[in-house]
């Protein structure tokens, strides 16, 4: 009886394995977020758990539905063994007011590239970054614009811990209230540093 139950269980796993592998390779994958470069959006100090998030490969590879403000996984241009989780702040043709340690004050994002940053590399509006916190993130301020071909997936939602379940995108809209938290201040700072290319309006980026 036990052998029969084990065989059924094994067959069930084998039956669903190809479908799971296919979905993981082409549509979705789940990642545990490590590090603090995307705080407070991901892994905030207020949570005792690491965030576990659902990412869409389909949105990047097939639909190409990503743009400014989206959080993506991207293969490191410096070391392809590592995958980074960063936010896209500028698309091709945009002009970015850079942050240290980038050598130039401004950078134009070339064709087929994006500009990515970690949350902590973005100073708050009206505040100076304390110490060297804005250097914690390995992002475009360190290695410049990144090829779109290195983007692997787009963040859809946090699935763990339960109290953080749901979407994480924060849009700062001062017309809806005068009180902004630090995350929303960073959102406004990000917009203030990017001059959007005129061609982006027609392409819907």
CB count within 10 Å of CB 54 equals 15
Q: Which residues pair with 73 in a beta bridge?
A: 85, 153
> What is the predicted pLDDT for the residue at 198?
66
> What is the predicted pLDDT for the residue at 71?
92
**Residue 97 designated active-site:** no
Catalytic residue among 9, 24, 31, 37: 37
Rounded distance between C-alpha atoms, residue 110 and residue 86, angstroms: 19
- Give the pTM: 0.71
Rounded distance between C-alpha atoms, residue 52 and residue 112, angstroms: 30
8 Å CB contact between 184 and 69: no
Residues 167-204: tens digit of each pLDDT: 876 544 434 444 445 555 566 666 678 888 766 545 55
Low-confidence spans in the chain with pLDDT less than 70: 1-27, 46, 63, 119-137, 169-191, 198-205
Residues 95-109: tens digit of each pLDDT: 999 888 899 999 999
- Residue 102 class from Cβ within 10 Å (0-12 exposed, 13-18 middle, 19+ buried)? middle
Q: What CATH topology corresponds to 27-187?
A: Umud Fragment, subunit A (2.10.109)
Strands 83-90 and 113-117, by their bridges, are: antiparallel
Six token digits for residue 77? 């241009």
Six token digits for residue 122? 């973005």
Helix (H, G, I), strand (E, B) or coil at 97: strand
**Residue 37 designated active-site:** yes
Catalytic residue among 57, 86, 137, 140: 86
């Amino acid at each position: 009886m036990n052998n029969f139950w084990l065989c059924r269980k094994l067959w069930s796993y084998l039956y669903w394995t190809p479908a799971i592998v296919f979905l993981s390779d082409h549509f979705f994958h789940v990642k545990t977020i490590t590090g603090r470069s995307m705080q407070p959006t991901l892994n905030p100090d207020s949570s005792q758990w690491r965030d576990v998030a659902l990412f869409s490969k389909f949105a990047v590879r097939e639909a190409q539905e990503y743009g400014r403000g989206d959080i993506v996984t991207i293969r490191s241009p410096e070391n392809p063994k590592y995958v980074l989780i960063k936010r896209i702040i500028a698309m091709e043709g945009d002009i970015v007011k850079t942050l240290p340690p980038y050598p130039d004050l401004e950078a134009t994002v070339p064709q087929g590239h994006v500009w990515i940053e970690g949350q902590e590399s973005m100073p708050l509006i009206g505040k100076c970054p304390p110490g060297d916190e804005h250097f914690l993130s390995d992002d475009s301020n360190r290695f410049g614009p990144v090829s779109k071909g290195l983007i692997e997936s787009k963040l859809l939602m946090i699935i763990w811990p339960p109290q953080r379940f749901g979407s994480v995108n924060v849009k700062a809209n001062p017309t809806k209230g005068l009180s902004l938290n630090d995350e929303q201040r960073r959102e406004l700072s990000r917009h203030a540093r990017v001059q959007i290319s005129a061609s982006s309006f027609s392409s819907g980026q």
